[in-house]
Amino acid sequence: MKNILKIFLLDVKRISSNVVALVFIMGLSVLPSLYAWFNILSNWDPYGPDATSRMQIAVCSDDMGAEIESVKVNIGDSVVEGLKANTTIGWVFTDTTEEALAGVNDGEYYAALIIPETFTKDMMGFLNGDVTHGEIDYYENEKKNAIAPKITAKAQQAVKEQVNATFVSTLTESMVEFGNVMSASEEQTGVSLLDALLEQLNELNRELSIYITMLDSFINIINSASSLLNTTQVMLPNLDSVVDNGQSTVNTLEGALIAADGSARAAARLLTVSMDTIDQSLTSLSGAVSSHLSMIKSGIQGPETIAQYATIAEGLQHSIDINSTLSSLGGVVSDDVKKRITDEYNYVENTFATLTSDLKAIATTGAKTEQDIVNLSIKIQGEIDNCRAAVKALRDDYTYNVQPRIDTMMDDMRVSMIGAADVLNSIDGNFSDVAVVLQQYKDTMEDGNGSLQDSRNMAVDMKNKLDEYIKHILSLSTDEQYQEIMDMLRTDPNLIGSFISSPVSIETVEVYPIENYGSAMAPFYTILAIWVGALILVAIMHVKVEPDEKLKNVKHYQAYFGRYLMFYIVGQLQTLLIVLGDFFFIGIQCKSPFLFWFACSFISFVFTLMMYSLTVAFGNVGEAIAVVIMVLQVAGAGGTFPIEVLPEVYQKLYIFLPFTHGLKAMKECVAGMYGMDYWISLLWLSVFAGVSLLIGLVLAIPCRRLNEKIEESKAKTGIML
């Protein structure tokens, strides 16, 4: 024990009496802390908005937009406007695609987002049944920095999510607004959307019923036509005689019609001449009656002499027989014309009757005063004029309305008879071709009847299914879920749009929260700095105790522990400075500062002991082994990446690396303790301390001679320490 203290005190005395040595010790104490602090500061918040906003990503929109129902839509412009409000990335909006890509190629930009010309058209293509995913071209420069693409990839994903969320939100808001319009329409008109749908389905059902009825009628018509064709086919052999008889009959009718035409035209002319004669007779009667009344007035003749004119007037009345003529015309003259002529004829008869009565009255009355005769004369003359006017009107109506109809009817009948005769005369009496055609028609109608029957069956099936749908919709109107959906459609469109675009919101419950990335990385860079400090110590300070007159009978273990005390003290100074800088200069988060220092102190003890032992046992080879172990730990201790994502070899070595357990103990202090993990990790580190002691105290003895030969070989080179 005395030799151990003597070696330590002798080392302290030599250092304290040498200014250069003191400077070196101070440098060895400070240098590891600088390594830790600078690395922690550089990783303080690399993924925060303040840091990522300095990373420039170019954005260019070539989107031409699209026109939907006369409304201009440009989703590309909406994306650009959204990115302008996003400050997490240093967006640079270029005028052209070429400018953006040139910036990516020359390293000015880390990446570029290019919105193509058809972006809006592709996004809205689903409205026309063309479902095409909108694509945004993303260019990234992976050469510029290894981590940058990972950060910019998050920006890429953020843009995609923003576009999708905005698109879905907009569609949903439009749908809900439409639902609100429907609800408002329901409130105003009292007709719900479901009722309107039912009305349309019922209308379709009625149309199907009409369609089925029409098909039934067509089927019946075809069946009747088939029966008629069958009958026609039976009658075809007898048609020759029928045609011959028809020709004879038509010829006979044609002769009779010619005779009847002459008779009709003669009767019409006779009636017209009769009415002309009556008009002339009335003119003569007017003059004669006037003359006799003058003679009666003068006393030359008596009143009874006028009776002959009454007889003449009565004869003229009976000479007009228009009723028999009208009844013989049948449907040639319309009912309106018949009625008008009949009324005119009745007026003529009544006027003649009045005239006859007045004339007879003069003849039978006897002596009259002069004034009475004058009055009668005026009345009779008026009645004669009325008779003439009525007869003239009757004649004109008959001439211009009845006579042309008779002429036209007779002409039409003659033309029809001539046509019928021509048709019958053109028939050659051979109906064999007709029979073949009728059979073809019959076959066609039978095929058509089958098709119509199939169509009817399909229509009936469709109607039955439609009836089922109507029943389901009727039951839906009372369904609670339907009412809930309708209530939802009546809510705020923005609220529904926001929910549909992001239906799941994740609430992060931080377990062992850490304020920033720098605090999370502090254990790794701190433990790495402690290892580097220990490594520098064995590289600069000698582990071998040189012979001294003050040291007698120094054994191996005494030299081992005596020299190690200086390594331990310097290692603790390094660790203390690193920890104090972490707390007060950097300001890392630490839930248990004292335990953090204690863990670092214990780690420093283990690391200095390990590298001191390796160097004592193997010399420069031991230092190289320490460097190799450090490299393995930097990559495989899970300090930067989760161990699960590392190659399998690191996953197998993970448990055997000192960093693994040292990091775990330090993280317990930074983020919070869990059970006995802190002490278990320190216990694991104690195992490495025991192994180090075994190497330095036991394994070093047989390796001493080998180390001496290595040192001799190095000295011979003249360039190696």
Q: Where are the domains of the chain?
A: 2-44+516-717, 51-189+488-501, 238-432
- Phi, psi (rounded to 5 degrees) for 71: -110, 125
Residue with tokens 């009844």: 327
For residues 667 and 662, give the distance between their C-alpha atoms in angstroms, rounded to a whole number: 9
Q: Is the pLDDT of residue 332 over 60?
A: no
Q: Is 330 helix (H, G, I), strand (E, B) or coil?
A: coil
Highest mean pLDDT among 48-52, 172-176, 342-346, 350-354: 48-52
Nearest to 659 by CA among 679, 690, 635: 635
Q: Is the pLDDT of residue 152 over 70?
A: yes
Contact 271, 322 (CB under 8 A): yes
Secondary structure element (H or E) that encloses residue 468, with its range = helix 432-476
pLDDT at 662: 95
pLDDT at 480: 67
Q: Is 43 helix (H, G, I), strand (E, B) or coil?
A: coil
Q: Is the pLDDT of residue 367 over 50?
A: no
Higher-confidence residue of 591 and 488: namely 591
Mean pLDDT of 425-434: 57
The model's confidence at residue 574, banded by pLDDT at 50, 70 and 90, is very high
**127 DSSP assignment:** G
What is the average pLDDT score of the chain? 76
Residue 65, Ramachandran bin (φ over 0: left; ψ between -120 and 50: alpha; else beta)? left
For residues 144 and 111, give the distance between their C-alpha atoms in angstroms, rounded to a whole number: 10
Residues of the chain above pLDDT 90, percent: 24
Q: Is the pLDDT of residue 580 over 80?
A: yes
Contact 436, 236 (CB under 8 A): no
Q: Is the pLDDT of residue 545 over 80?
A: yes
pLDDT at 363: 61
Mean pLDDT of 270-282: 64
pLDDT at 508: 81
Contact 703, 618 (CB under 8 A): yes
CATH architecture of 51-189+488-501: 3-Layer(aba) Sandwich (3.40)
Higher-confidence residue of 455 and 374: namely 455
Q: Is the pLDDT of residue 621 over 60?
A: yes
Return the amino acid letter for 175: M
For residues 556 and 707, give the distance between their C-alpha atoms in angstroms, rounded to a whole number: 15
Q: Is the pLDDT of residue 118 over 70?
A: yes
Q: Is the pLDDT of residue 149 over 90?
A: no
Both structure tokens of 296: 């009666």
The model's confidence at residue 568, banded by pLDDT at 50, 70 and 90, is very high
Domain boundaries 238-432, corresponding CATH code: 1.20.120
Nearest to 40 by CA among 459, 578, 418: 578
- Phi, psi (rounded to 5 degrees) for 130: -100, 95
Burial class from Cβ neighbours inside 10 Å (0-12, 13-18, 19+) for residue 487 reads exposed
The model's confidence at residue 315, banded by pLDDT at 50, 70 and 90, is low
Highest mean pLDDT among 168-177, 197-206, 646-655: 646-655
The model's confidence at residue 692, banded by pLDDT at 50, 70 and 90, is very high
Highest mean pLDDT among 345-359, 489-503, 528-542: 528-542
pLDDT at 143: 87
Q: Is the pLDDT of residue 245 over 60?
A: no
**192 DSSP assignment:** -
Q: Is the pLDDT of residue 328 over 60?
A: no
Q: In three state form, how does the secondary structure of 427-446 look?
A: CCCCCHHHHHHHHHHHHHHH
pLDDT at 92: 92
Supply the DSSP string of 646-707, one letter for each residue.
S-HHHHHHGGG-HHHHHHHHHHHHHH---TTHHHHHHHHHHHHHHHHHHIIIIIHHHHHHHH
pLDDT at 166: 65
pLDDT at 704: 79
Q: What confidence tens digit (pLDDT) does each residue in 62-108 have?
A: 988 887 656 677 888 888 887 888 888 889 999 999 999 999 999 89
Higher-confidence residue of 313 and 38: namely 38
- Tally of CA atoms within 13 A in the half-sphere of 181 that contains its CB: 6
Contact 645, 651 (CB under 8 A): no
Residue with tokens 């399909």: 458
Higher-confidence residue of 204 and 295: namely 204
pLDDT at 493: 56
pLDDT at 438: 63
Q: What confidence tens digit (pLDDT) does each residue in 250-262 have?
A: 566 555 556 555 5
Both structure tokens of 304: 């009874």
Q: What confidence tens digit (pLDDT) does each residue in 4-61 have?
A: 888 889 888 888 888 888 898 899 899 999 999 999 998 898 888 888 888 899 999 9
Mean pLDDT of 362-366: 59
